[in-house]
Every structure is written in C-alpha cells, then in structure tokens.
Amino acid sequence: MDLPELGPLWLSLQLAASATAVLLVLGTPLAWWLSGTRSRLKPVIEAVTALPLVLPPTVLGFYLLLLMSPRSWLGGLWVEVTDTTLTFSFTGLLIASVIYSLPFMVQPLQAAFESLGRGPLEAAASLRASPLDAFLTVAAPLSLRGFLTAAVLTFAHTIGEFGVVLMVGGNIPGKTRVISIAIYEHVETLRYAEAHTLAAGLLLFAFVVLVFVYVFNRRLPVHVA
C-alpha cells in the first residue's frame, strides 16, 4: 500500500495545538464574562461567538481573504511588519482557526462556569479572595471538566477544518497544506489508497476523541466545595 506523506498530519496537529492554546487564553475570560454578566450586550456577544457554527466556511473564508489581503488595513500592516502576506501563511491559518473554533471553546466553558452558581465564589469573596484569586483557586479547578471538554473539542474541530483553509491557505506544503486538504487532493487526483489511509486515520481519531469526551464527562466526579 502507498503510504501518504505525513507532513500534512503534523501540520494539522501543530495548527490545532496552537489554536487550542490561543483560544484557552482568549476564550476563558470571554466565557467567564458571559457566564456572569447581566449586560444587555450579552445576547449580541453570544450570537457573535456562535456565528462560526452557523455560517458556511465559504463566508468566513471569503471575508478572511479580504481582511488578510495586503490591500486591507490588517493584511497591509502585517506585510509592513513581517514582509510576508498573512494569507497563505501558518499565522493566517491560525487566525482563521481561532475564529472558526471560537464557539467550541467558549460554549462548553460558559456552561461549566454557569453551572458553578454563585455560591462558591461568594464564599471565596467572603474570605477576602480577590476576583482573580477566586477564579484561579475556586472556579477554574471546579470547572476542570468544562476546560477539558472545551480544549478537546477545539483541538478536534480545528483538525477537521477544511473550507476556510481551502480558501485562504494556498495549499503550500509544510505551511498550509493540512490533512483535510491533502485528503481532498488525493481524492480529486484518484489516489484513493493514500486518501483512505489519511481519512480512516482521521475518522478513528475523531471517534476516539468523542468517546473520550463522553466517558470523561460521565466519570469525573463533581467536586462540591
């Protein structure tokens, strides 16, 4: 059997790990704010967060192509600073992935934070813990399940990204040729053996990840402070 090149697989893993890391940093405060706020803006921000779930990747891909173009303010600034274009680069894909996977990080976290209720935090505040302290020592450990679910889903969803990458990636080996693109090209060029290997691997991966999420969500005991 013809073994496919594994470069695209490593690239996908790198992209997914980076996107998950960035989203943990950006998504956690956002989810925290959403879980506690009574602001009238809340539904609007929630809607914006959920948009990537509903929009076809072509919409996102099209606007990212315009936004990251050297003719736009963002793409132009990027070219001035780095002397490379944002499109067709790993960084460009990372930005796309962060937007594309945002709901997969924020929604599980928000649900976890909301299920904590006010109690534990009010207790922490009454012991004079600062809000940050209360979050780090009380809320975060209690939301471990939420964090794990969010991180795993974000990672897996980024691995499965296709449409956006197809539009802004440019299919460059080692930079933007991720596994889904490689599979697509193998299929289109009738190299079914290679396509099968990669596709079956991805199928197995997705299945294992989801089983893990469901098992973990059932088994981990809920800590009651």
Partner 1 sequence: MLLLAASGAAAGEVTVAVAANAAEAVEALAADFEQRTGHRVTVTVGSTGKLYAQILHGAPFDVFLAADQERPRLLVEQGLAVEDSRRTYAIGQLVLWSSDPTIEATPETLRTGSFRRLAIANPDLAPYGAAARNVLRELGLWESLRSKIVVGENVGQSFTMAASGNAELGLVALSSVISPRNGREGSYWEIPEHLHRPIRQDAVLLGRAGNTAARAFHLFLSSPKALATIESFGFVVDGQRRPIHTR
Between 124 and 166, whose beta carbon lies closer to partner 1? Answer: 166
Between 39 and 84, whose beta carbon lies closer to partner 1? Answer: 84
Q: Determine what percent of the chain falls in helix, strand and coil, rounding each to the nearest 5.
A: 75, 0, 25
- Give the CA-trace dihedral at 121, 125, 129, 133, to 10 degrees: 30
Between 27 and 169, whose beta carbon lies closer to partner 1? Answer: 169
Q: How far is the CB of 97 from partner 1 (least distance, A)?
A: 18
Cα–Cα separations (whole angstroms), residue 17 to 22, 24, 197, 204: 9, 11, 22, 19
Between 81 and 188, whose beta carbon lies closer to partner 1? Answer: 188
Q: How far is the CB of 85 from partner 1 (least distance, A)?
A: 6
Q: How far is the CB of 79 from partner 1 (least distance, A)?
A: 8
One-letter amino acid for residue 95 of the chain: I
Residue carrying structure tokens 């690239």: 11
Tell me how many degrees the CA angle 190-192-194 measures, rounded to the nearest 5. Answer: 120
Cα separation, 27 vs 167, whole angstroms = 25
Q: How far is the CB of 87 from partner 1 (least distance, A)?
A: 4
Interface residue list for partner 1 (CB under 8 A): 65-66, 68-71, 75, 79, 84-85, 87-88, 166-168, 170-172, 185, 188-189
Q: How far is the CB of 146 from partner 1 (least distance, A)?
A: 38
Between 53 and 66, whose beta carbon lies closer to partner 1? Answer: 66
Between 64 and 150, whose beta carbon lies closer to partner 1? Answer: 64
Q: Do residues 120 and 142 make contact, with C-beta atoms less than 8 angstroms apart?
A: yes
Q: How far is the CB of 55 from partner 1 (least distance, A)?
A: 18
Q: Do residues 176 and 170 make contact, with C-beta atoms less than 8 angstroms apart?
A: yes
Cα separation, 9 vs 3, whole angstroms = 13
- Taking each continuous run of H as one helix and of E as one strand, the counts in the chain are 12, 0
Between 14 and 171, whose beta carbon lies closer to partner 1? Answer: 171
Q: How far is the CB of 14 from partner 1 (least distance, A)?
A: 19
Of 9, 20, 185, 174, the closest CA to residue 97 belongs to 20
